[in-house]
């Protein structure tokens, strides 16, 4: 499978670095790591992105505007959350959920499913 460029939207720096390292171990690249909705939307406008991994809760914000933008651009994405129940807002289709905390193998399986669909 060809290498993909990922957008990582995560407000916890250690988790973002873990995801970045894991994606690179899988042979993929990272177009940008963003900690807020504004930076993520800017990164989408500035970089080629093949897929994305979104933390739902970014401090006082949620990443749903980014999910909507990805959906509009037909870019596959998944969300990561520490909550078992994710309530997808109107206008955002339900996608796969990577439950936190996750292992490298769980991330690898989720990424494989995301980019093969």
Instruction: Report whether 40 contacts 15 (CB < 8 A).
Output: no
* Sheet of strand 97-99: strand arrangement: 29-34, 5-9, 51-55, 77-81, 97-99
Q: At what angle do helices 64-72 and 37-46 cross, to 10 degrees?
A: 20
5-116: which CATH architecture?
3-Layer(aba) Sandwich (3.40)
pLDDT at 58: 93
Q: Is the pLDDT of residue 84 over 70?
A: no
pLDDT at 83: 76
Instruction: Note the Cα 94 to chain centre separation in Å.
Output: 14
pLDDT tens digits, one per residue of 4-32: 999 999 999 999 999 999 999 999 999 99
Domain ranges, ordered by start, for the chain:
5-116
């Amino acid at each position: 499978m060809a290498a993909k460029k990922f957008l990582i939207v995560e407000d916890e720096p250690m988790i973002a670095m873990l995801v970045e390292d894991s994606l690179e171990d899988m042979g993929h690249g990272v177009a940008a790591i963003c900690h807020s909705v504004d930076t993520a939307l800017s990164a989408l406008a500035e970089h080629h992105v093949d897929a994305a991994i979104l933390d739902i809760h970014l401090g006082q914000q949620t990443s749903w505007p980014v999910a909507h933008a990805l959906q509009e651009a037909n870019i596959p994405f998944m969300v990561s959350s520490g909550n078992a129940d994710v309530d997808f807002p109107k206008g955002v289709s339900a996608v796969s959920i990577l439950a936190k905390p996750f292992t490298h193998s769980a991330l690898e399986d989720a990424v494989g499913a995301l980019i093969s669909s």
